[in-house]
Amino acid sequence: MKISDAYVIVTSPGRNFVTLKIVTESGTYGIGDATLNGREMAVVAYLEEHVIPALIGRDASRIEDIWHYLYRGAYWRRGPVTMAAVSAVDLALWDIKAKAAGMPLYQLLGGKSREQVMTYAHCTGRDIEGCLAEVEKHVKLGYRAVRVQAGVPGIPTIYGVAKREGERYEPADAELPAEHVWSTEKYLNHVPKLFAAVRERFGDELHVLHDVHHRLTPIEAARLGKAVEPYHLFWLEDCVPAENQESFRLIRQHTTTPLAVGEVFNSIHDYRELIENQWIDYIRTPLSHGGGITHMRRIADLAGLYHVRTGFHGPTDLSPVCLGAAVHFDTWVPNFGIQEHMPHTPETDAVFPHDYRFEDGHFLVGEAPGHGVDIDEAMAKQHPYKRASLPVNRLEDGTLWHW
């Protein structure tokens, strides 16, 4: 199982994706997702200059040793660029191991804990009515859970809401960062009305989620959590920037609204206090940023001890490779909560043939050996990389804020 070749494929079928392919002497290969939205080429350089040369000749079956070689061995631990690269290697190696065993990945992890994986859809509107129309559409498609985001009067652009009604929302929408404006007071005064309208129109059973996208201070997040308790959200996501894990102590003291966090985390150490103090309810880190299967299952196991469940990030800026591996992980992991589902474009799906299926609001895992996702390299070449950046936020007085 010696690694004989490894290379990076950058493609942009509607948006940028970075894929690592690792080939063994026997010809069995595996692929991993190394996409880091808006910072793609930094991961490409990391892989090409520092990781790939050190992989050639290693035994692909020694996943654990290679993980620690790349993590501890780099001396410079953690960080999104390093961990995206480590994750891509890890996902490709698990793909190879499962293919060599002739098993779908979920079998290698320990087998099925469930038959299907509940997902949540993005429902966004320029105003509350527009958002309700999207919820209606997604409920008809079979979704049991929806993330609702609506425009706020007086704020011209807002996270999660497409520029024009009916258009797909892609945050990295300009070559250099677009500048958005943010007003906490306008948002806090408006957003509870959205949940009230959703509950009034759709009743109590639908799971309702919301992403604050890191914009509040702890006391503001506590105010929001309390205000929305009557609408019993499934979760409130990223209500504060989470570098300071202690922030969640304050929020938790004030509200019973469940809290999700971690789409920008990449290590168990980002979570340790949050989980051990039971300040959060869901972990969000995707496999392609959190060190792959090897590290994410350690985080999920720690979380399980404290009744914390998984709710993996699943926007379009993670490739179908990450999503496919996530469907296997979600099918196995005992403390599964929910999986985010933001459908890829048909062009993306064509570049990445896959065997996971979506039916009636759920993902169904495939039975092909490995994680079940491949890349059509010839088609990938037809979509060259285009620089794209995430926006920045400024308060109304011009102060740079969290986006």
Ligand X SMILES: O=C(O)C(=O)C[C@H](O)[C@H](O)CO
Q: Interface with Mg ion by CB under 5 A: which residues?
A: 211, 263
Cβ atoms of 62 and 101 within 8 Å: the answer is: no
Task: State the Rg of the chain over Cα.
Answer: 21
Beta bridge partners of 363: 117, 358
Show Cβ contacts of residue 149 under 8 Å, excluding neighbours closer than 6 positions: 122, 123, 124, 131, 158, 159, 160, 161, 210, 211
Cβ atoms of 139 and 206 within 8 Å: the answer is: yes
Kindly state whether residue 281 participates in binding ligand X, applying the rule CB under 6 A.
no
DSSP letters spanning 365-386: ---SSBTSB---HHHHHTS---
**Binding-residue total with ligand X (CB under 6 A):** 10
x/- binding map, residues 322-351, to ligand X, per CB under 6 A? ------------------x-----------
x/- binding map, residues 111-150, to ligand X, per CB under 6 A? ----------------------------------------
In the complex with ligand X, which residue's Cβ is closer, 28 or 389?
A: 389
Output the smallest distance, CB 390 to ligand X, in A: 6
Residue type, 307: H
Output the smallest distance, CB 263 to Mg ion, in A: 5
In the complex with Mg ion, which residue's Cβ is closer, 238 or 374?
A: 238
Cα separation of 392 and 403, whole Å? Answer: 5
Output the smallest distance, CB 171 to ligand X, in A: 5
Cα separation of 396 and 181, whole Å? Answer: 6
Is 138 in the active site? Answer: no
In the complex with ligand X, which residue's Cβ is closer, 32 or 171?
A: 171
In the numeric block, the tokens 């300040």 are attached to 279
Question: Which residue's Cβ lies closest to Mg ion?
Answer: 211
Output the smallest distance, CB 172 to ligand X, in A: 7
Neighbours of 231 (CB within 10 A): 18
Which of Mg ion, ligand X, none is residue 324 near (CB under 5 to 8 Å by kind)?
none
The catalytic position among 122, 138, 210, 213 is 213
**What is the dihedral angle through the alpha carbons of 347, 353, 356, 361, rounded to the nearest 10 degrees?**
10
In the complex with Mg ion, which residue's Cβ is closer, 40 or 211?
A: 211
In the complex with ligand X, which residue's Cβ is closer, 314 or 324?
A: 314
- Beta strands 235-237 and 259-261 are parallel
In the complex with Mg ion, which residue's Cβ is closer, 20 or 212?
A: 212
In the numeric block, the tokens 């037809």 are attached to 382
- Beta strands 207-211 and 179-182 are unpaired
Residues 212-231 that bind ligand X (CB under 6 A): 213
The catalytic position among 159, 231, 282, 356 is 159
Task: Give the burial string for 267-300 (b: 16+ CB within 10 Å, else e).
Answer: bbebbeebbeeebbbbbbbbbbbbbbbbbbbebb
In the complex with ligand X, which residue's Cβ is closer, 238 or 374?
A: 238
Output the smallest distance, CB 211 to Mg ion, in A: 4
Among 171, 262, 361, 366, the residue binding ligand X under the rule CB under 6 A is 171
In 3D, which of 183, 267, 259 has the Cα closest to residue 221?
259
Output the smallest distance, CB 139 to ligand X, in A: 20
- Which range, of 51-59, 243-251, 272-280, 313-321, touches ligand X by CB under 6 A? 313-321
Kindly state whether residue 37 participates in binding ligand X, applying the rule CB under 6 A.
yes
- Which range, of 27-35, 74-82, 179-187, 310-318, touches ligand X by CB under 6 A? 310-318
- What count of Cα atoms within 13 Å lies in the side-chain half-sphere of residue 403? 15
In 3D, which of 121, 26, 39, 95 has the Cα closest to residue 289?
39
Output the smallest distance, CB 100 to ligand X, in A: 32
Kindly state whether residue 82 participates in binding ligand X, applying the rule CB under 6 A.
no
DSSP letters spanning 173-223: -BSS--EEEE-HHHHHHHHHHHHHHHHHHH-SSSEEEEE-TT-S-HHHHHH
- Which range, of 18-26, 68-76, 80-88, 309-317, touches ligand X by CB under 6 A? 309-317
- Which range, of 81-89, 113-121, 274-282, 311-319, touches ligand X by CB under 6 A? 311-319
Is 213 in the active site? Answer: yes
Which residues are known catalytic residues?
159, 213
Rule CB under 6 A: which residues touch ligand X? 37, 171, 211, 213, 263, 313, 315, 317, 340, 390
